[in-house]
Chains A and B, each alone.
Chain A
């Protein structure tokens, strides 16, 4: 029983972080139909910026997120303005040019990080890094709880933005039917810039949160990019709920396998790979489409 609570709790805590990380990828794909390979680079950069704010200005990493979010949004918009034209959407599938370009951006970021912060492993040690609290009789690290709360806050912010504001509705409109959005007066270029900024901000925030949980180097982020891919394939691009659901599925699977089977933690990434593979074969439209199918069957 104790173990069940513990597994459920750690799955839930991980899911929040995963959702934040994956949503950054989803919003960019949804609006621009490009796969942001630089996402891992933005996460890595988010970790280092949070680290620098902490070590140089002794800013608590979670308060640092409030700086990282807007900063990365701005960075994303500037990057889009600089190279966005080459990422312009040509058709239904991502263009090779955009993939190469963003892969290049990732490499540049990685090497910049080597120059600025060197290749040494860094980590953030706060007064509460090693502390834990007890929830339902299970000891949980304080940083994990903070990460979950920060994730929840950013996802709620996002949901309100998408559901309540003209800007958010325009993002959803472009995602669901781009031509219809253009014909209703939506400035596609502005929305693409905003979406790229949002995606970058979410990557930066996710990176900042990860930096409080584990050590990192300039190569940091690759395995999390993979997890994010897996989540958006599962959850679809359209809704925050879908992404959150995909994140939960992955987190539960990882934690259950870790706790109840002899699968070593080092094989955790293989889990997301396998899940990605199964998802693509079994329900290529993602979980929401699967549920919609059941719903329709139930109505009939």
Chain B
């Protein structure tokens, strides 16, 4: 479904990604593992079009989408739920959700998608009139995921959806990812909580200072000593 080949990306003059290559098959959950600053978020930003790669190619469902603007990619079905939620704080929860369906591919089904988002996060339905900026952290995350779903993604990119959430909410977020996948959405997940992420994902790859250093089945990687010592050890503390 997604083939990323030899991507180099820069922030100004600073190179953040070196020759990053990976593929994601339809219906999979793939997780990206790496330390802070390893390039995980940069990888997602590049796929979603916020950052243009200087080299390399991104192919989505057989079509070259390298360098397309984010709004075009959303119309094709690539949706990023960015780090730290990034809601529109002065808009109501309902407006945030409705604007999630801004893309013309998502607009006609807006009412229907909204119902399925409410079915997944009933709490949001009680909060529709509230300004998004006044929601709690967990509620904001649900709103952010809900907004992403409103765009009717085929490939959903999630950047740290469980960051800063209480353990109970973390479980809830991961449960919702499972049900999103069951609806046929392919997922690429960046998550600090490597143990959770590997338990959920089919496959994973490791980024170190902007390069892919390891990849494989999630279940294999969970037992790989390099992952255990490098990432799971930290996550357990």
Which chain A residues have a beta carbon within 8 Å of chain B's beta carbons? Answer: 166, 169-170, 172-173, 176-177, 179-189, 238-239
What are the nearest 6 A-B pairs in CB distance? A185-B103, A185-B74, A182-B70, A176-B88, A180-B86, A185-B102
19 pairs across A/B with beta carbons < 8 Å? Answer: A166-B102, A169-B98, A169-B102, A170-B102, A173-B91, A173-B99, A173-B102, A176-B89, A177-B88, A180-B87, A180-B88, A181-B88, A181-B99, A182-B70, A183-B79, A185-B75, A186-B102, A188-B69, A238-B90
A186 surroundings in chain B (CB, below 8 A): 71, 99, 102
Nearest-CB distance from B39 to chain A (Å)?
18
In the complex, chain B residues whose CB is within 8 Å of the CB of A180: 82, 86-88
Say whether B82 contacts A183, CB under 8 Å.
Answer: yes
B99 / chain A contacts, CB cutoff of 8 Å: 169-170, 173, 181, 184, 186
Q: Which residues of A contact B103 (CB under 8 A)?
A: 184-185
For the complex formed, measure the closest distance between the CB of A275 and the CB atoms of chain B, giving whole angstroms: 24
Q: How far is the CB of B85 from chain A (nearest CB, A)?
A: 9
Contacts of B151 in A (CB 8 A): 184-185
Residues from chain B with Cβ under 8 Å of A176 in the complex: 88-91
CB distance from A165 to the nearest CB of B (A): 12
Q: A169-B102, A176-B89 are in contact. List 12 more A-B contacts (CB 8 A).
A: A166-B107, A172-B88, A173-B91, A177-B86, A182-B49, A182-B71, A183-B74, A183-B79, A183-B80, A183-B82, A184-B147, A185-B71
Inside 8 A of A188's CB, which chain B residues have their CB?
Answer: 69, 71
In the complex, how many angstroms separate the beta carbon of A245 from the nearest chain B beta carbon?
15
Residue B48 CB within 8 A of the other chain: yes
Q: Cβ of B221 < 8 Å from any Cβ of A?
A: no
Residues on the A chain within 8 Å of B53, using CB:
none
Cβ–Cβ < 8 Å partners of A179 in chain B: 50, 82, 86
On chain B, the residues within 8 Å of A172 by CB distance are 88, 90-91
In whole angstroms, what is the CA distance A184 to B97 when docked? 10
A172→B75 CA distance, assembly (Å): 21
Residues A169 and B95 in contact, CB atoms below 8 Å apart:
yes
Q: Is B138 close to A, CB under 8 A?
A: no
Number of A-B contacts (CB under 8 A): 74
Alpha-carbon gap, A254 to B88, bound state (A): 35
Counting chain B CB atoms within 10 Å of each CB, which of A180, A186, A188 scores highest? A180
A179 to B80, CA, bound (A): 10
Q: Name the residue of chain A whose CB is nearest to the CB of B70.
A: A182
Closest to B150 in A: A184
B123 to chain A, nearest CB (A): 21
Q: Which of B71, B80, B95 has the most CB of A within 10 A?
A: B71
Distance to closest chain B CB from A99 (angstroms): 21
Minimum C-beta distance from A295 to chain B (A):
10
Q: Does B106 contact A (CB under 8 A)?
A: yes
Interface string of B146-174 (1 = CB under 8 A from A): 01001100000000000000000000000
Bound: A187/B49 CA distance, A? 12
Q: Please give me the residue from chain B that is nearest to A170 by CB atom.
A: B102
- How far in angstroms is the closest Cβ of chain A from B98? 7
Q: How far is the CA of A43 from the CA of B210 in the complex (A)?
A: 51
Q: How far is the CB of A171 from chain B (nearest CB, A)?
A: 11
- Chain B residues lying within 8 Å of A177, measured Cβ to Cβ, are 86-89
In the complex, what residues of A have CB within 8 A of residue B104's CB?
185
Q: Which of A170, A182, A238, A239 lies at the interface centre, i.e. has the most chain B CB atoms within 10 A of its CB? A: A182
Chain B residue contacts of A184, Cβ below 8 A: 74, 99-100, 102-103, 147, 150-151
With a 10 A CB-CB cut-off, give which of A172, A179, A184 has the most chain B CB atoms. Answer: A184
Which B103-143 residues have a C-beta within 8 angstroms of A?
Answer: 103-104, 106-107
List B contacts of A182 (CB < 8 A).
Answer: 49-50, 69-71
Residues of B within 8 A of A181 (CB): 88, 99
| Nearest-CB residue, chain A, relative to B81 | A183
Give chain B interface residues in 187-209, CB to chain A under 8 Å: none
- How far in angstroms is the closest Cβ of chain A from B131? 10
Closest B residue to A190 by CB, please name it: B71
